[in-house]
Structure 1
Amino acid sequence: MSALITAYLADAHGAAVATILADSGKGFDLVTLGRNIVNGLTFGSIYALVALSIVLIYKSSDVVNFGTAEMGMFATFVCFSSLSILVGREGNIPLPETIGLGNYLIAILLTLVFAGLLGLVIERVLLRPLSKAPVLSQIMVTIGLGVFLYGLASFIWKADNKPFSQLDVVKSADIRINVDNSFISITGEMITAMLIGAVLSLLLYLFFKFTLVGTAMRAMAQNPTTAKLMGVNVGFLTGLTWMIAMMLLAIAGVLVAPKISLSPLMMANVAVLSFAGAVLGGMTSLVGAVAGGLLVGIIDNLVGFYLPDGLRSMLAFLIIVVVLTFRPNGLFGKVVRKKV
């Protein structure tokens, strides 16, 4: 995780304090505001999916997953390899700029299966044997696994940036909004990210609110011992939660890859900002994870646009520090008291 934080702060360049007071030279107008809000909602939707993954794992396993970035990255590389095979671009041949719906859906389906199995293996093989161990031991497992996946991805796919294909129907779905004789462009990628984020968040809400399995998972998250006494299969539901969480990371990775290109560090910034969203919303609230992710996305684009690069890179950590100082349970989190 320290490597990811270092990478995230790499843009700081040791900016002097005087830079804070320097004029950014960026004006304020409705077009700029609109563009930043759209960008914020786009990336905020991705942060919300990753924050949901973080909160799901924390609620089910009581573990903060510090391997979030690498797990999402590795699943995205699996999607990249699947696409390469499907379109006949194996080896060092770059993917085409756009790929048809059929091949894209097959690659995503294979990626989701892989991500789900990866989550199940992590929970069953690595974390379940440590269920009675100190939480720090379980956290160290997630950190170690993250380092392993980063090294494995660098070995298999190399550390250079690779372009990631867009869905062809998404490429042509751009919208332009006229504001004060200027245009706010909403690309098909942006629309897709916001729609997928909204739909998945709604589906998860309905799943946990109205299905028997979802209700059992909520009961397990509140009190595993009581849930087990009531006949809930806690072990099965914990594994299922990890599977869902890993699938969310895979989807987030596939959404962000066309915007920033594919590399072993592609999810580092996303993970840090998503952690800020999870903390802001409350680590025990799924609604808070979505709201926190969206808020962080908007704040990062609105405030960060007018800040020097060095300060913008620290914005997520500032959000985490402020929230933990003044509202430790986040905006939607609840105080949990455990009897010992």
Structure 2
Amino acid sequence: MFVREYGGRIRLGTGVKRLVARGGRVTGVETEAGETLPADEVVIGADFAHAMKHLLEPGVSAKYGAEQLKRKRCTSAGIRTRRRRCTPLSLTPSMRMKSGWYLQGGYAGLIGRLEEALRSRGVTIRTGTPVEEVLMLGSRCIGVWAGGEKLAFEHVVLNGDFPGTAALLGEQERGKAPARKYVPSSGCLLLYLGLNRTYPEALVHQFFFTEGIRDMLATVFVKGELPADPCIYAFHPSLIDPALPPGKSVLYVLVPVPSGGGVDWSGREAVVDAVLRSLERRGFPGLRAAVEWMKVRTPEDALAEGLFGGGSFGIAPSLQQSGVFRPQLAPFGIEGLYAVGASVHPGGGVPVVMQGAKQIADHILKKDCTANMHSI
């Protein structure tokens, strides 16, 4: 009734045969009855991978691939219950041609580009200089003690994983900070593979789910054990990134696993081999023989590098650790001291963390502009 009230048309029992595209843009759909329905935008309510495989014209699929046909939004809102299980509330995939950008070289290339842009604007960047303490003058942060010297700053943004940042405050300030026990997010087994071949029949992004996905989720999030048949995410950027020589490619593999210290990773070789065998069966035949080099990261490695509890996405997105209950951009109530990262609002994942960084930058700029206006 709501859709019809605003002039929308509803068709029931009308199957979609394929998407119609022209000049790099989806222009409508063709029904199974052979009728073409024009549309400015098309929202796919079906499984994304299925839509990519069956609804696109062969030429369009080959030309654009999964990366160019971006999902405009793909959000999964979830509530983690007391048993630490994540129940998806909604999953709305949407595709639109030319609605996103791929960074050549992947996220690893983002660091160098940001560094180049900052240095070109006169910003000084220090590397290999661990911050030992946040310096205070009264109720205001005035800088940091790092690399054996005092560095004065008007604003300080802490980007370490938040549960560990309180250790940088002075003893007096640590005593004022409210004591809170955080729960880490799930961990990831990550495989970085260099291959002596490509898989042109694959998609750039692929999700491989298991038949017993409920049991798998319970194994990871409730029992805290490694699943025998895990879900797997595979990213094959070489299909759209020409950085490697012809015939070479890379593959990134992510497997959800428990965080914390409950898993013994000393026998990780057997786990990795099982994952590679699973990928061979599911869509990458001959994968093990094609591997020229491989790097493996477990939650143990994440923990050693400072990620809270070995979790891959900051603190867990539980109800008590989300939204207003998550650490905010000025979590200590100290003038001039801010925080950013996966454990800080709005949450984990590189794009979301970048949104948090932008919020802090906008806040500081607005605050400085307001202060300058008041001083005039």
TM-score > 0.5, shorter chain as reference: no
The structure whose Rg is larger is: 2
TM-score with structure 1 setting the length: 0.22
In terms of fraction of residues, the more strand-rich structure is 2
In terms of fraction of residues, the more helix-rich structure is 1
